[in-house]
Amino acid sequence: MIYFIPGLGTTSELFKPLGDCIQKQFAIDQCPSLIFPDHPGMGVRYHEFTSDLECDDALRMLTSDIISDEVQLSEELNKLYKNASWNYSLKDLAGMHFKIFLEKISANQFASQKIIFVGASMGGFILSHLGLLLREELEKEQSILKNFRGKFHFVFLCSLGPINKGFTSPTPLTEKGLIQFFQLPNEVRAKIQTDYSIGPNLITQNPKRYEEIYQYRLNAKVSPIHTLLQNKAAIDYLESSMDFQKLEFFPGFVIHGLNDTFVLPENSQQYKKCFPHWENINLEDAGHLVMMEKAEEISQILSTIFHKDFQ
């Protein structure tokens, strides 16, 4: 099984090029199950995993529909966000993914497989919390995951740990800035997001992939409210004192685009300082959306992890 966790303000469609490459990479009868869950408020499956995250009818309305009146969006977004009677942390989202994972393995059909968790950007933050949940469960004498001991592998894409562990903070996304950003026309937002998150040569070297990324940004079903809530939760994670070092229990791989201007590539070296046995892989001509830009290369890396025993 390969389980993908998307980043801030993104949907599971982020991994579509990578998923397509993985299916081509593996023989039909050997391809692992690929799990692509969405976070609350994101993607077409937005309602599926929100049972433990109660929210007001007004919030549901705003997050499930595309609002065409950009001025109204700003006013409503500010009003609803400020008056929201609920909230969540990335640890809560990790708990959601833990429940989804347990549902997927309940039939025990994956007991002989490796389990690879892939967290992209903020998805890596969530994966850190998920790792602590998994370790806590695995260390129980009668663990429900006893058949999976030694089979978990973590892959962090363009991510980082808490600042107090020596990581460099990413480019800040402020509440005011995000609200202003959601007032822009959709085509403008998509162009900014695309150009800011890729390497400098993609548009000339692989125009088809550039257009694929732009179309993803243009059509992604992303909730403004949940983007703001995720951003707040991500800041709390970066400023947290979580027991990050306990992740050394798992084999880890850190993949970074060397042209990432949002989460700086130097953070991959800090992972190495925290976890010397983890493997660092830096990809040239790739920015923050390395999972889309370099889908073929990352597919090969995941195939290697899946088929080879790492001690």
CATH number at residue 225: 3.40.50.1820
What's the distance, CA 117 to chain centroid? 10
**pLDDT averaged per 10 residues, the chain (length 311):** 92 90 76 83 47 34 35 51 63 88 72 85 96 92 83 95 93 82 87 92 93 92 83 92 92 95 92 94 94 94 81 44
159 phi-psi bin (left φ>0, alpha ψ -120 to 50, beta other)? beta
Note the pLDDT of residue 75: 59
How many of the other CB atoms lie within 10 Å of CB of 147?
Answer: 12
How many domains, the chain?
Answer: 1
Note the pLDDT of residue 80: 54
Note the pLDDT of residue 134: 93
Tokens of 1: 């099984």
CA distance 195 to 6: 19
- Nearest alpha carbon to residue 160 among 25, 268, 55: 268
Residues paired with residue 154 on neighbouring β-strands, in sequence order: 117, 252
The three-class DSSP label of residue 28 is: coil
Count of residues in the chain = 311
CB 270 within 8 A of CB 167: yes
Note the pLDDT of residue 30: 74
CA distance 36 to 43: 11
How many of the other CB atoms lie within 10 Å of CB of 218?
Answer: 14
CA distance 92 to 107: 25
Note the pLDDT of residue 224: 81
Note the pLDDT of residue 254: 97
Range of the domain at 117: 2-307
Q: Give whole-number Cα distances, 93 to 7, 62, 96, 138, in Å.
A: 12, 20, 5, 19
CB 257 within 8 A of CB 283: yes
